[in-house]
Amino acid sequence: MSNLQFEPRGKRVTVMGLGRFGGGLGVTRWLHAQGADVLVTDMADADALDEQVSKLPSGVRTRFGGHDAQDFTTADLVVASPAVAHPWTNRYLNAAMEAGVPVTTEIGLAIERLPDRARVIGVTGTAGKSTTCAMTARALETTGLPVHLGGNIGGSLLEANIGAEDLIVLELSSFMLHWLGDAQWSPGTAVLTNLSPNHLDWHETLEHYEHSKRNIAAHQRAGDLLLCDRWPELAAATRLKPSEDLPRLTVPGSHNRTNGAMALAAARATLERLGIAHDAITLRDAVASFPGLPHRLQFVAEHRGISFYNDSKCTTPQAVALAVRALAEQVPPDSIHLIAGGADKGVDLRAIAELARKIGHVHTIGTTGPAIVQAAHALGGRASHHGTLDAAFAAAADACPTGGAVLLSPGCASWDQFTNYEERGAMFVDLVRARIGHAVDGMRPSPTD
């Protein structure tokens, strides 16, 4: 990947991968607006990408259902999707590089254009990076300065109007960091939440996965900041430790407390290094009151002593158990009323049924609901099937005691009754809103994993 700033006007650019979730859409729009001649090419058929294709600017050329090597060897630049697994073996990217065509990514183009890397907090890790990023941004916003949240969490910074005094929080995946290693770029403040084996289908080896993660700090300079319990040989940056003075958080779970401690430490140290005025208590309270990312154990509201949590993104029984365990750190387990069930993916639902013996009640919905109830009753648990989300919500909210919680954590896919998990979660929030009688704050656009 070239580390020289690319000027798009009048240049031919091939964007490799539009993606079903629009991963290439932001960079394509930006390149087109800058005057580039853009071709988007994707292995998927146009029908599978219909929604994203409809959002492409007029004049952008497309090739779907396969790639053509000539599109890569005759371009002035190739922008590869980070989703392209082990790109070092990809014949189209190799053809481009052999022809002398530079290859980069959306994040590569974005970091070239950031005014000051010292004002960037980059976060990576196997788990918790999205929440840590969002908490960090929330803390920084208390300064009154513009804060931009981007990278893997969603939204291209190429389309943002970033000023010289603005602050940036970047979620950086291992895929992104693989490419940024070639650019020899690391953020002024780097955070590693944790590290365990993951995405080995992309990286092929654990060693390559960790090496890619390491790039978040590999090119830091003296005076930079690093919050990380690994890589002792990286001595250029000042080491940070997680903050220990957090009060009780709005979002449940000891793992979120860890995320909050990292976010607070990174935000506070970065502001101090930059000489930006801030109030320590205000920073701390901003992190503590973070409601959670939409649909991920998100605190929606409290009404008449009952807390409501939206965990619609939870689509496995094991994740339901983790959500209940996190919530049980804040409320008595027998006061938790769980809404679970959905489309049948053919997985073992016993982990959900077993919860019916440990919590107040399991209220089921969707195709898998009756099977969960049957298994719960066989184990001596408390469960009932309601069919639809609105019926289950009404029953759970009516039965939940003061000091308890109603938790939507389905453990199943949504497509039997909803278009996606976001629609399911939004309906839950609407039901809470209707019960309370006023709007519920805290809903933001949903980020990617």
Q: How far is CA 57 from the centre of its chain?
A: 26
**322 and 411 in one domain?**
yes
pLDDT at 442: 42
State the average pLDDT for the chain. Answer: 93
Q: Report the C-alpha gap between 80 and 61 in whole angstroms.
A: 16
pTM of the model: 0.88
pLDDT tens digits for range 45-98: 988 888 888 999 999 999 999 999 999 999 999 999 988 999 999 999 999 999
Domain end among 65, 85, 104: 104
Residue with tokens 């750190």: 329
Tokens read off for 230: 């690994």
**85 and 157 in one domain?**
no
CATH number at residue 99: 3.40.50.720
**147 and 189 in one domain?**
yes
Under the banding of pLDDT at 50, 70 and 90, the label for residue 446 is very low
Length of the chain: 449
The Cα diameter of the chain in Å comes to 70
Number of C-beta neighbours around residue 405 at 10 A: 26
Under the banding of pLDDT at 50, 70 and 90, the label for residue 234 is confident
DSSP string, 246-306: ----SS-SHHHHHHHHHHHHHHHHHHHHHT----HHHHHHHHHT---STTSSEEEEEETTE
Amino acid identity of residue 328, one-letter, is A
**280 and 149 in one domain?**
yes
- Residue 444 maps to a domain: no
**123 and 79 in one domain?**
no
Domain end among 288, 315, 343: 288
Domain range enclosing 159: 113-288
What is the separation, in whole angstroms, between the first and last Cα of the chain?
24
**333 and 186 in one domain?**
no
**Count: domains in the chain:** 3
Mean pLDDT of the 409-420 span: 95
- Residue 403 maps to a domain: yes
Q: Nearest 5°: phi and psi at 397? A: -65, -35
Q: Report the C-alpha gap between 409 and 311 in whole angstroms.
A: 5
**373 and 248 in one domain?**
no
449 pLDDT more than 60: no
| Minimum mean pLDDT range among 18-32, 95-109, 174-188, 287-301 | 18-32
- Residue 3 maps to a domain: no
- Residue 7 maps to a domain: no
**135 and 210 in one domain?**
yes
104 pLDDT more than 90: yes
**279 and 177 in one domain?**
yes
CATH number at residue 282: 3.40.1190.10
pLDDT at 445: 32
- Residue 4 maps to a domain: no
Amino acid identity of residue 306, one-letter, is I
Under the banding of pLDDT at 50, 70 and 90, the label for residue 443 is very low
Tokens read off for 397: 């909210």
DSSP string, 351-412: HHHHHTTTSSEEEEESTTHHHHHHHHHHTT--EEEEESHHHHHHHHHHHPPTT-EEEE---S
- Residue 362 maps to a domain: yes
**179 and 246 in one domain?**
yes
**275 and 133 in one domain?**
yes
Tokens read off for 334: 């027998």
**340 and 282 in one domain?**
no
| Minimum mean pLDDT range among 220-229, 268-277, 334-343, 434-443 | 434-443
pLDDT at 27: 94
